[in-house]
A and B are shown apart, each in its own frame.
Chain A
Amino acid sequence: MRVAVFSRLALLVVSTVFFIMNTNAAYAQDIRTGDHLVTQVSNDFIDVSAGFGGAVIDLFGDRNDANTDVAIVVEGPKRRVTIWQKEQVMGAWVNRYFVSFDSVPVFYSYALDKRDFIINNSELSEKHNVGIEALFKEEQIRKSRSIDDIEVFRNALVEERKNLGVFPQAPEMVEFLNPYFFRARFKIPQSVPTGEYKIHTYLVKDGAIIDRAVQAVSIKQVGINGLFLRMAKENSFFYGLGCILFAFIAGWFVSAVRVKV
């Protein structure tokens, strides 16, 4: 009886240890960070105040092997986006067909040291979102039943985002200050959506990722803007009340001035 319990316990312990070792091994295999690559972002927060006029994020990095390629991806928070295609109904142009992508980054940019090394590298593009082509994946999609070709919708979205300056027209260049030390610059436009931004850097050798690093930048509204946003989100009833109160006072003030003059 006792032996049976012990053997069962032993089995449990052994299997648990194996399980932990296994996941550790898988983890270690997936990311080997820090061996070949170190990155540092110039500023890990960007304050958006009422007079915000855009910003720049510099990413600095150091690699220990000059015979590698560098790919950098900047991604903002992801949101669902719906694209409507207009069609003429009784003369009026009406939103008719839609395609929704579940997680489109509000801001996206990427930088490469050479233009072409990501071509045919499905690991980089599909798994790590290097390049705009990789951004919208099949399984994220919801759409009108009659729509088969989502490509036009995707292109329309990308084109719009490019015009807004939140998607890149072309990849940024990774500049090397010496064979090991590099820098990439990303412009953040004025109308930037706020949130947590992530910068992933991949070091690629012979088509395989040998190291990677991640940096975070928090873009937040501060000051009076931050206060208003927080109020509106967390206490929307009192925010609405505040707006009304302000409007009442403004209206009252106007009529008082009007009477005097």
Chain B
Amino acid sequence: MLIYLPIAEMAVAVEEIFLLGFFVGFVSGVFGVGGGFLTTPLLIFMGIPPTVAVGTQASQLVASGTSGVIGYWKKGYVDFFVGTVMLCGGVVGTVFGIIIFELMQYLGQIDLVISLLYIILMGSVGGMMLFESVFSLSKGKRKSVKHEFNRFNSPSLISRLPYKMRFPRSKLYISAFVPAGIGFVSGFLVSTMGVGGGFLLVPAMIYILGMPAYLVAGTSLFQIIFTSAFSTIMHAVTNNSVDILLALFLIIGGVIGARFGVMASKKVKGARARVILALIVLAVCTKMAVHLFLTPDNFFVTVM
């Protein structure tokens, strides 16, 4: 069944959008990741304009973030204070990202920027994940990393930054610029790539901030919800590129997919799951790279 999207002004097959949402929801259910890194490129491959893909994906992140954060919140695994400081940085990062997005659109290079960001970020994250998981698979039982995280010493530069604040919940005494800076990166990624950036935030919060590991996932989700909500409004106001019907079918597909994903997650666990996730990430990255580096069929692109 074809449906006419009111903002994109084009007809798309509902089944395709639904399946895409389902697949991404499934992946996020199995691996506990946001899945934004899959949605945006897949929408673009389907022919949705990049601006609409990124803008709409931001609103979808609000939905998946909300459903994720509630579980952590009930267990008390969210540090709202750190999250709010990160959010302040996230707002600035979003504005910065929107400006870059607008500028690149004007220069006709937005596709290039999105592809490059994906290839660099996905390539490095996927590569590291694959290396680590294959390594730990071959070694058998891996050591529990959790205890090492907190012993990680912050680099001296970070401890010298001004405006130190106390974050009692996370037992941190650190410059407000550090969580705000991490939030800034997240805001930039949401507004330019339509990804939550959990794959970067979580390690950054563990290694750079030195937060207790059990607080990290919930806090980063909390922050992503509001950053992507802000990004949604910014995209709606500046680019007019948030398509609510597209979001609706993505979210419905995602919800159902996530349920199946959670069921499947009981069967695939640990390093093996991470190998699969790493391969999916690298596949998306490769597809992007092929698109960018292989001689195209059509040397011309038209932009309205």
Contacts A94-B112, A190-B2 given; does A236 touch B236 at CB 8 Å = yes
Q: Is B192 an interface residue (CB 8 A)?
A: no
User: What's the Cα separation between A2 and B1 when bound, in Å?
Assistant: 82
Contacts of B203-251 to chain A: CB distance below 8 A = 229, 232-237, 240, 242, 244-245, 247-248, 251
| Chain B residues in 8 Å Cβ range of A193 | 9
Give a binary string over B266-303; 1 marks a CB under 8 Å from any A CB, 0 the rest: 00000000000000000000000000111110111111
Q: Which of B240, B255, B296 contacts A236 (CB 8 A)?
A: B240
Q: Which of A79, A93, A190, A251 contacts B11 (CB 8 A)?
A: A190
Contacts of A34-63 to chain B: CB distance below 8 A = 48-53
Q: Is A246 an interface residue (CB 8 A)?
A: yes
Contacts A50-B245, A84-B108, A254-B67 given; does A225 touch B62 at CB 8 Å = no
Q: Is A81 an interface residue (CB 8 A)?
A: yes
Given contacts A160-B300, A261-B259, 11 further A-B contacts (CB under 8 A): A53-B11, A82-B302, A190-B11, A228-B6, A243-B232, A243-B247, A244-B233, A250-B66, A251-B66, A252-B66, A259-B71
- A254 nearest CB across to chain B (Å): 4
Q: Is A221 an interface residue (CB 8 A)?
A: yes
| Chain A residues in 8 Å Cβ range of B302 | 81-84, 156-157, 160
User: What's the Cα separation between A225 and B293 when bound, in Å?
Assistant: 38
Contacts A84-B300, A236-B240, A246-B244 given; does A254 touch B63 at CB 8 Å = yes
Q: Is the CB of B244 within 8 A of A242?
A: yes
A-B contact pairs, 22 of them (CB 8 A): A50-B6, A86-B299, A91-B293, A93-B295, A95-B109, A156-B298, A193-B9, A194-B9, A221-B4, A225-B245, A228-B7, A229-B6, A236-B240, A244-B229, A247-B247, A250-B63, A250-B67, A250-B251, A251-B62, A251-B66, A251-B70, A252-B67
* Residues in A lying within 8 Å of B, measured CB to CB: 48-53, 79-86, 91-95, 98, 152-153, 156-157, 160, 190-191, 193-194, 221, 224-226, 228-229, 232-233, 236-237, 239-244, 246-248, 250-252, 254-255, 258-259, 261
| Chain B residues in 8 Å Cβ range of A248 | 62-63, 66
Q: Is the CB of A153 within 8 A of B66?
A: no
User: What's the Cα separation between A86 and B109 when bound, in Å?
Assistant: 11
User: What's the Cα separation between A228 and B245 when bound, in Å?
Assistant: 9
Query: Count of A-B contacts with CB under 8 A?
Result: 171
The number of chain B residues with a CB under 8 A from chain A is 55
| Chain B residues in 8 Å Cβ range of A241 | 233
| Chain B residues in 8 Å Cβ range of A86 | 296, 299-301
Q: Is the CB of B4 within 8 A of A48?
A: yes
- B118 nearest CB across to chain A (Å): 13
User: What's the Cα separation between A53 and B63 when bound, in Å?
Assistant: 30
| Chain A residues in 8 Å Cβ range of B172 | none
Q: Is the CB of A250 within 8 A of B255?
A: yes
Q: Is B40 an interface residue (CB 8 A)?
A: no
| Chain A residues in 8 Å Cβ range of B264 | none
Q: What residue in chain B is nearest A80 (Cβ atoms)? A: B304
Q: Is the CB of B259 within 8 A of A95?
A: no
| Chain B residues in 8 Å Cβ range of A92 | 112, 116, 292-293
Q: Is B65 an interface residue (CB 8 A)?
A: yes
Q: Is the CB of B229 within 8 A of A50?
A: no
Q: Is B64 an interface residue (CB 8 A)?
A: yes
- A156 nearest CB across to chain B (Å): 4
Q: What residue in chain A is nearest B303 (Cβ atoms)? A: A82
Contacts A79-B304, A157-B302, A251-B67 given; does A190 touch B237 at CB 8 Å = no
| Chain A residues in 8 Å Cβ range of B237 | 236-237, 240
Q: Is the CB of B62 within 8 A of A247?
A: yes
Best-buried of B71, B255, B300 by chain A (most CB within 10 Å): B300
| Chain A residues in 8 Å Cβ range of B295 | 93
| Chain A residues in 8 Å Cβ range of B11 | 52-53, 190-191
Q: Is the CB of A225 within 8 A of B63?
A: no
Q: Is the CB of A243 within 8 A of B66?
A: no
User: What's the Cα separation between A190 and B13 when bound, in Å?
Assistant: 11
User: What's the Cα separation between A56 and B11 when bound, in Å?
Assistant: 17
| Chain B residues in 8 Å Cβ range of A79 | 304
Q: Which of B235, B236, B303 contacts A81 (CB 8 A)?
A: B303
Q: Is the CB of A254 within 8 A of B258?
A: yes
Q: What residue in chain B is nearest A189 (Cβ atoms)? A: B11
Best-buried of B1, B11, B232, B255 by chain A (most CB within 10 Å): B11
- B304 nearest CB across to chain A (Å): 6
Contacts of B7-49 to chain A: CB distance below 8 A = 7, 9-11
Q: What residue in chain B is nearest A88 (Cβ atoms)? A: B295
| Chain A residues in 8 Å Cβ range of B240 | 232-233, 236
Q: Is B59 an interface residue (CB 8 A)?
A: yes
Q: What residue in chain A is nearest B302 (Cβ atoms)? A: A83
Best-buried of B3, B64, B108, B302 by chain A (most CB within 10 Å): B302
Give a binary string over B103-134; 1 marks a CB under 8 Å from any A CB, 0 the rest: 00000110110001000000000000000000
Q: Is the CB of A156 within 8 A of B300?
A: yes
User: What's the Cα separation between A86 and B112 when bound, in Å?
Assistant: 11
Q: Is the CB of B300 within 8 A of A244?
A: no
User: What's the Cα separation between A93 and B293 when bound, in Å?
Assistant: 6
